[in-house]
Amino acid sequence: MEHPSRRDGGTTARSSAAHVTPLIDAALAAHRAGRLDAAEPLYRQALTLDPNHAPALHYFGILHYQRGEHDTAASLMSRALKLDRHDAACWSNRGLVAAALGHLDEATICYDQALQLQPDFADARNNFGVALQAQGSLSEALEQYRLALASNPGMIDAHLNLGTALSKLGRFDEALASYRDVLAIDPNMAEAHFNAGNAYQAQGRHNAAIASFERALALRADYAEAHVNLGSLIGRLGDYAGAEAHYRRAVALRPNPTHLVCLGGSLAAQGRPDEEEVFYRQALALDPHHADAHQNLAWLLLKRGDYRQGWAEFALRWRKRDYDAIAVLGVAEWHGEPLDGRRLLVVGEQGFGDHFQFLRFASVLQQRGATVDLCVREPLLPLVERIPGVSRAFSGQPQGDYDFWVPMMSVPSCVGTELSTIPAGLPYLFADKAKVKAWRKRVGPVNRSKRKVGLVWAGSPTFGNDRYRSMTLADLSALSELKSVAWYALQKGPAHAQLADAPSAFRAHDFTAELSSFDETAALIMLLDLVIAVDTGVAHLAAALGKPVWLLLPANSDWRWLETRSDTPWYPGMKLFRQKKVGDWAAVVAQVAKTLQATHVTPAPPQTRAAAKAAARP
């Protein structure tokens, strides 16, 4: 905002100038001193004497803008510009007001007018950049910030905004250079340290990010956003108690729904469900439509086994941009209406494991009378096309006429799924017979006295809880000593490199280079007697194929595995091995080794379509 400075009113009558000028001077003095209540009556008196005093209208508009009274500010500044269209500062400030009202197109027009009058107007350039950035025009915004800095190299706001735009473009080194420029001018600018922390975090430079957030907080202890971002980072690095402390401080400073949800999440990570629920409900009391609060509360209720309330909350999980990304335009969303003779499109969502778990509902929907099409991620297509009850599977943009569409993970809420009515017949996914035959030749004969066991020890490192759900292959080293087991590596991704230093028993059957798709992985799994895995998509795939699965779970496990059970209603026959203490895989591995030695794993019968039809029950 270009602050008020003394200008004579171009249209002021000479006869009243002697009376108006002292009032304007007094109003400006109070205004600049921050005494808005004292300035207001002086502006009113001046405008009573001369309603067409353009500077007074402009300055009074600034006062209303500073109070958040944007409609009044817009009206006053527009009147001023009708009287004096050559006031660049007024055009720039009118643009700020338009932006505050959400009228970004109008704001850019105002800034352009200001810059035509005064091309070196740094404030207008910077404000123009902010409006362009809000419209998603980042390259154009960068240009305006740089032009502002060419006119005023010491303009801190332009340096900060340039850094923010560069960060949004993923140009973090350049963004950090902008923040260093700010700190060279003002080393105590907390916002620059905060923004630098965000850039460092995006680069994976966690120590630098933590140091920047801590510096921001040292300079400004009431910086709620810095508490939240620092809490989020150290929480992901395992310091849940530290994260909780920062979230509590953020809530004390600004008890908004987002901060409350973050606090609840940190309590969930520490296994304190009764405490976390309170904060989700407080968030929803402030904002009944807060998507993250609904989703976290849903996970909590589902983990308790309260499926009736849990699915109802889960149906409200959508952020607008996420919903819009999968919604089928022109087609009604299905909420449980009769399906006889209707065409229904089920749209996949979230991770591969979620897909594998919820694909079972295709048969349920088909049994309700629907013609069921599935829109899923391309790597899943071969498997999905073989699901009984699926009319058509495809990826990309939906095509064809449908009566309804439904997000895949909303189906349980629409059909009223309870723990006792989960459609749990297995298998409901089927491997390609030709690929199974080819893999049988590739694998070759194995000593029949040995059980063939697949092994997955890590999930995707990008998953939020991966630090706890994944383990290292070294954590499983005790299993390599079991002479009755032939181990088959099913591990993909960066963690596969751990095989290089693993015991020879783990390296003996490593075909992962040939597992180019889930279809190939499914075919190999069909030749195994058992799959032992952490909570990843491969575990769901193996279970959905009807193979025995032993799942290794962290202390803070996902909602679908409930709280204390060693089995799961989602996959009959799956065994759950749970950590009793966060990070303690040794006890879990010891239990697995003991169970392997004591248990004979019976090979699953060959897959049949009849078995699949029994899998789906409403």
Per-residue confidence (pLDDT) for residue 151, from 0 to 100: 95
To which residue do tokens 């001077």 refer?
25
Q: What is the dihedral of CA 436, 438, 444, 445, to 10 degrees?
A: 40
Beta bridge partners of 597: none
Q: How far apart are CA 56 and CA 433, in angstroms?
A: 83
Region for 403 from its dihedrals, namely left if φ exceeds 0, alpha if ψ lies in -120 to 50, beta otherwise: alpha
Per-residue confidence (pLDDT) for residue 402, from 0 to 100: 96
What integer best gives the mean pLDDT of the chain? 92
Q: How far apart are CA 64 and CA 446, in angstroms?
A: 82
The DSSP secondary structure of 368-418, one letter per residue, reads TT-EEEEE--GGGHHHHHTSTTEEEEE-SS--S--SEEEEGGGHHHHHT--
- Are 406 and 328 spatial neighbours (Cβ–Cβ below 8 Å)? no
pLDDT band at 207 (very low <50, low <70, confident <90, very high): very high
Structure tokens at 127: 């404000």
Beta bridge partners of 372: 344, 390
Non-local CB neighbours of 528 within 8 Å, separated by 6+ positions: 452, 453, 454, 488, 542, 547
Helix (H) or strand (E) holding 221: none
Q: How far apart are CA 263 and CA 258, in angstroms?
A: 9
- Are 577 and 591 spatial neighbours (Cβ–Cβ below 8 Å)? yes
Give the pLDDT confidence of 545-554 residue by residue, as tens digits.
Answer: 999 999 999 9
DSSP state letter for 56: H
Residue 217 has pLDDT above 90, yes or no: yes
Q: What is the CA radius of gyration of the chain?
A: 31
pLDDT: which is higher, 581 or 250: 250
Q: How many Cα neighbours within 13 Å face the side chain of 199?
A: 27
Selection from 494, 501, 487, 521 nearest residue 593 by Cα: 487
Per-residue confidence (pLDDT) for residue 614, from 0 to 100: 36
Selection from 185, 111, 177 nearest residue 141 by Cα: 111
Residue 10 has pLDDT above 60, yes or no: no
To which residue do tokens 């910086």 refer?
223
Per-residue confidence (pLDDT) for residue 331, from 0 to 100: 94
- What would the mean pLDDT of 49-53 be, rounded to a whole number? 92
- Are 460 and 466 spatial neighbours (Cβ–Cβ below 8 Å)? yes
Give the pLDDT confidence of 120-129 residue by residue, as tens digits.
Answer: 999 999 999 9
Beta bridge partners of 549: 531
pLDDT: which is higher, 444 or 361: 361
Q: 54-66 and 88-100 are packed helices; what angle lies between their axes, rounded to 10 degrees?
A: 30
DSSP state letter for 561: G
Strand, helix or coil at 454?
strand
Q: How far apart are CA 219 and CA 213, in angstroms?
A: 10
Beta bridge partners of 455: 489, 532
Beta bridge partners of 392: 373
- What would the mean pLDDT of 166-180 be, rounded to a whole number? 97
Per-residue confidence (pLDDT) for residue 608, from 0 to 100: 59
Give the pLDDT confidence of 13-30 residue by residue, as tens digits.
Answer: 444 566 788 999 999 999
Non-local CB neighbours of 515 within 8 Å, separated by 6+ positions: 490, 492, 521, 524
Give the pLDDT confidence of 473-517 residue by residue, as tens digits.
Answer: 999 999 999 999 999 999 999 999 999 989 988 988 999 999 999
Per-residue confidence (pLDDT) for residue 143, from 0 to 100: 95
Residue 8 has pLDDT above 70, yes or no: no
Structure tokens at 285: 């009391």
Q: How far apart are CA 550 and CA 347, in angstroms?
A: 29
Per-residue confidence (pLDDT) for residue 307, from 0 to 100: 97
Question: Percent of the chain beyond pLDDT 70?
Answer: 94
Selection from 231, 603, 293, 330 nearest residue 453 by Cα: 603
Q: How far apart are CA 516 and CA 423, in angstroms?
A: 30
Give the pLDDT confidence of 103-157 residue by residue, as tens digits.
Answer: 999 999 999 999 999 999 999 999 999 999 999 999 999 999 999 999 999 999 9
pLDDT: which is higher, 348 or 605: 348
Q: Which domains does the chain have, with CATH numbers?
A: 14-215 (1.25.40.10), 221-317 (1.25.40.10), 337-417 (3.40.50.2000), 433-610 (3.40.50.2000)
Q: How far apart are CA 330 and CA 333, in angstroms?
A: 10
Give the pLDDT confidence of 419-452 residue by residue, as tens digits.
Answer: 999 999 999 999 999 999 999 998 887 667 789 9
Question: Which range among 184-193, 203-212, 591-600 shows the weakest confidence by mean pLDDT?
Answer: 591-600
Per-residue confidence (pLDDT) for residue 602, from 0 to 100: 57
Residue 611 has pLDDT above 80, yes or no: no
pTM of the model: 0.84
Strand, helix or coil at 42?
helix
- Are 262 and 247 spatial neighbours (Cβ–Cβ below 8 Å)? yes
- What would the mean pLDDT of 329-344 be, rounded to a whole number? 95
